[in-house]
Structures are given as C-alpha cells and as structure tokens.
Amino acid sequence: MHTLFRISKVTILIQTFMKILVCISSVPDTTSKISFEENDTKFNKTGIQYIIGPYDDYALARAVELKETHAATVTVLNVGLADSEPQIRKALAIGADDAVRIDAEPTDSFFVANEIANYAKDKSFDLILMGRETTDYNSGVVHGMVGEMLGMPSFSPVMELNIDGTAVKLSKEIEGGKEKLETSLPCVMGCQEPIAEWKIPNMRGIMGARTKPLQVIAPSTGSLTAIEKYELPPAKGACKMISAEDAGSLIALLQTEAKVL
C-alpha cells in the first residue's frame, strides 16, 4: 500500500491565557440604615441588604471586558463569611469563570491584603484588579499592600486600563487632573469609574453561575486587630435659610457659629 501524503513536520500551537484575579468585597447597600449592638462593639446586620462593593463592580466589569477581547480567564476572590456567597455568585453570573472565598471575617486592611497575597503568590496571575476602596471602611490601601507583598507595581485610582501583550496603559486620577502611565504585567490595580460600565447579569449568566466552581478555603493567618467600639458620625445640625438680600446675617453666622471666617 502506498501513501499519498507524508507528514514531515508537526507544529503545535499553545495559546497562553492571561489570568485575571478580581478581588470583591461584600458591603451594605449605600441606602442601608446602619446601627450597632452589644454596647456598640458589633455591627448589626439585621435587615441589611448586601451588594458587591461599587468600586469592585467597576473592576469586575473591566475584567469581563478584557476577557471578551483577550484570551483571558477571570477568577473572583472574596475574603468573607458564607453570607457573602450571593455576591460571589452574582460576580460569576456577570462573567467570572470561577471563584474563591477565604472563609474569614474581613476585619482590617492588612488581614485582607495578606490573605489575597497568600492566595495569589503561587497562582501566576497576570493582573489583579479590585476597587479603589470599599464603601464600608474606605481605607483605600489594600491594593498597595497586595502589590508590595507580591512584589508587583500597584496603581490607584485607575480610570482607564488597556492591555497590549504584556504592555499596560492606564490613566489614574490625581489632584486636579489625570495622569497617563505605562507599565507591564503583572500588576495590581485599584479601579474606579469610568474604567467600565457596571454589568447586569442576564438569565443565562445567572443559571450558569449555579454550576461554576466556588472554592472555600481556610484563612492562612489570623487577624492582628480587634474592634473595640463603633460609633456613628455626629448628626447633621438644622439648616438655616438666609435671604439672598441679607448677606450681613450670613457673614455673622459664618463668624460666630461655623467659625470659618
């Protein structure tokens, strides 16, 4: 038997995927009425509606966009207890491929950053995205800590993010304007608007999220801090209306009551 063709060379093409880690927080809806219990030592979760941190939503939306335009996979990471899983499933419905929950109360920024870094250190993530800050504690330092712990450059607040190969072009907010920068992968970004538009999960995404993997792992360390007491900000005082023609009274109030003049 004679063969008509002979294979002289075989070329195997291996497609490399960019690995994106999106860190999300589970925070009270901004319309929630906040209160404390047990002598103001514990946050009262009764009746509180939780959402994905609004800035984290921007990070997730940009990651999903990058997945759609690049060969990329998106993993969602949350440091939180079981009650944060609805928000994790929503992130999966929006477009993340898989999720990890580190089973611990996110007590302080260092603890959260340390858990993120310990998880990510041997996973070869190319890009780590998160919100510029959470809307409950507003520390705004986790991205910087994660970058330092992993030896990666970190930037925040990032308003634009584009990737070409391993090159990264970004725009971040600075006082009085924007700063355009270039770096390379891997890196860490704290995101804010208008980096992307929030995405709403469709029915197909919601159904698919039910079967996507969600791994729960124990924390690698313990927290170094403890909450002694919470307190609400002072209540706003009554608003005084001054006639536009009565500038003298306005100036007097600014001097005697507001003490800003």
Q: What is the pLDDT of residues 58-83, one digit of tens each?
A: 999 999 999 999 889 999 999 999 99
Check residue 254 and give left, alpha or beta (phi > 0: left; psi -120 to 50: alpha): alpha
DSSP state of 258: S
User: What is the number of alpha carbons within 13 Å of residue 134 lying toward its C-beta?
Assistant: 23
CB 117 within 8 A of CB 9: no
* pLDDT of the residue at 244: 79
Average pLDDT of every residue of the chain: 89
- Rounded to 5, what percent of the chain is helix, strand, coil? 25, 30, 45
* pLDDT of the residue at 13: 44
Element (H, E) at 78: strand 72-80
**Angle subtended by helix axes 142-150 and 109-120, to nearest 10:** 40
Domains of the chain from N-terminus onward: 18-217 (3.40.50.620)
CA distances from 260 to 76, 125, 241, 255 (A): 47, 50, 18, 6
* pLDDT of the residue at 190: 96
Average pLDDT over residues 186-196: 95
Of 164-173, 177-186, 201-210, 243-252, give the lowest mean pLDDT range: 243-252
Cα-Cα-Cα-Cα dihedral sign, residues 181, 182, 187, 189: positive
* pLDDT of the residue at 194: 95
CB 125 within 8 A of CB 63: no
- Residue 113: exposed, middle, or buried by beta-carbon count in 10 A (0-12, 13-18, 19+)? buried
